[in-house]
């Protein structure tokens, strides 16, 4: 059953009309971007240093500090995300090099990720173009048409243990080591992946040389895994909510899919800061060239967007049980609900 509290309202203005309005906010401030970068990297390096020092006193203390530092690693990824959208600096060369360097910290090859993420933005919500940069989502009809093994594999894929525990570590630690999805798309993606891998290998070798395996096991990996898990969760709730938007053929429209298919994840202020306002995702998808620090400004100036697609943390937990897109009812539903409505597969 549809939860009417999940989404506060739907903007009355056509989605495409917002583009011209949002274009006013696209210019980044070099000074502000540098301050945001320093305010993120500074605490990250400080906590890394404290965790390393803590190794000589308590492994548990070092581990706890590393877990906390995973939050700042999330913010580092969000800044890399802005660089990939050319929204962080006006100078594209500086922007790309910042993105490449941050990609070493986030275990994410910059050029490879930028390309797959641009595909996600260009095709999000299009049932005819799934498979790159998204969470696999089957329609009820597609799921029911699968054999028993195919349905089982999809159920395993959508299980919370796989999506939010095993999946994030696999994605960032293993999958990102190759330009999957772009293996035959040119040398630049291989250079991006292999270059990032090489620098990561050098960093790990230096860590082991200076402190043995404990810094890797108790600081590096915990921070990376916490950030990966949070990052995957944020990406999931940005698009996997009950009244999201999927369409195919001529019924799919880019701007409508951007607005209606992306949530406004309403987080407490500290979490908004740590996630670099990525929860204002419906605006981001409408106009991805806007710097993250200008997104709250847009909500202050445009009440329609401020009240649209709102999703609270408590409400977002319900999305874990949504697995299938119903093309007739135009909403996501659980396996159980699909079975009750359409009978056993």
- Summarised one tens digit per residue, pLDDT across range 70-110 is 999 999 999 999 999 999 999 999 999 999 999 999 999 99
Residue the block writes with tokens 């400080």:
46
**Beta-strand runs (E) in the chain:** 138-139, 264-265, 310-311, 324-326, 331-333
| Dihedral sign of CA atoms 332, 283, 271, 63 in order | positive
- What pTM did the predictor assign? 0.93
C-alpha–C-alpha distance, residues 254 and 142, integer Å: 23
Asked if 79 and 102 touch (Cβ cutoff 8 Å), the reply is: yes
User: Residue 332: beta bridge partners?
Assistant: 325
DSSP calls for 200-211: HHHHHHHHHHHH
Q: Where are the domains of the chain?
A: 15-135+161-237+249-314
CB atoms within 10 A of CB 330: 13
**Please, which contacts does 138-144 make with residues 24 or more away whose CB atoms are closer than 8 Å?**
138/323, 138/324, 138/325, 139/246, 139/324, 139/325, 139/326, 139/327, 140/324, 140/325, 140/326, 140/327, 140/333, 140/338, 140/342, 141/327, 143/324, 143/338, 143/345, 144/338, 144/342, 144/345
Classify 247 as helix, strand or coil. strand
User: Residue 118: beta bridge partners?
Assistant: none
182: phi then psi, degrees, rounded to nearest 5: -130, 25
Per-residue pLDDT of the chain (345 residues; tens, 9 = 90+): 444 444 456 677 888 899 999 999 999 999 999 999 999 999 999 999 999 999 999 999 999 999 999 999 999 999 999 999 999 999 999 999 999 999 999 999 999 999 999 999 999 999 999 988 889 999 999 999 999 999 999 999 999 999 999 999 999 999 999 998 899 899 999 999 999 999 999 999 999 999 999 999 999 999 999 999 999 999 999 999 999 999 998 899 999 999 999 999 999 999 999 999 999 999 999 999 999 999 999 999 999 999 999 999 999 999 999 999 999 999 999 999 999 999 987
User: What is the predicted pLDDT for the residue at 138?
Assistant: 97
First to last CA, the chain: 20
C-alpha–C-alpha distance, residues 68 and 227, integer Å: 10
- Summarised one tens digit per residue, pLDDT across range 259-268 is 999 999 999 9
CA torsion 177-40-294-253 (nearest 10°) is 20
């Amino acid at each position: 059953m549809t939860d009417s509290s999940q989404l506060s309202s739907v903007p009355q203005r056509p989605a495409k009309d917002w583009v011209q309005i949002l274009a006013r906010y696209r210019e980044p401030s070099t000074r502000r971007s540098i301050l945001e970068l320093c305010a993120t990297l500074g605490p990250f390096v400080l906590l890394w240093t404290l965790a390393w020092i803590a190794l000589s006193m308590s492994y548990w203390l070092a581990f706890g500090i590393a877990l906390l530092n995973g939050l700042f690693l999330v913010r580092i990824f969000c800044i890399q995300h802005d660089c990939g959208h050319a929204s962080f600096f006006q100078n594209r060369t500086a922007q790309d090099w910042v993105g490449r360097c941050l990609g070493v910290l986030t275990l994410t090859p910059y050029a490879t990720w930028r390309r797959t993420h641009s595909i996600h933005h260009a095709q999000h919500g299009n049932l005819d173009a799934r498979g790159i940069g998204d969470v696999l989502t089957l329609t009820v009809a597609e799921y029911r048409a699968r054999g028993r093994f195919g349905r089982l594999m999809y159920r395993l894929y959508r299980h919370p243990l796989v999506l939010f525990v095993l999946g994030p570590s696999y994605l960032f630690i293993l999958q990102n080591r190759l330009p999957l999805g772009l293996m035959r798309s040119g040398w630049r993606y291989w250079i991006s992946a292999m270059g990032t891998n090489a620098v990561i290998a050098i960093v790990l070798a230096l860590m082991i040389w200076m402190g043995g395996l404990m810094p890797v096991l108790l600081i590096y990996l915990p921070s990376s895994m916490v950030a990966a898990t949070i990052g995957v969760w944020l990406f999931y709730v940005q698009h996997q909510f009950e009244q999201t938007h999927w369409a195919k053929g001529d019924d799919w429209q880019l701007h409508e899919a951007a607005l209606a298919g992306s949530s406004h994840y309403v987080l407490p202020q500290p979490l908004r800061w740590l996630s670099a306002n990525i929860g204002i995702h419906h605006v981001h998808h409408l106009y991805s060239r806007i710097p993250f620090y200008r997104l709250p400004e847009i909500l202050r100036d445009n009440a329609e967007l401020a009240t649209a697609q709102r999703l609270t943390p408590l409400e977002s937990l319900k999305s874990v049980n949504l697995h299938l897109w119903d093309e007739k009812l135009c909403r996501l539903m659980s396996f159980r609900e699909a079975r009750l409505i359409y009978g056993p597969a």
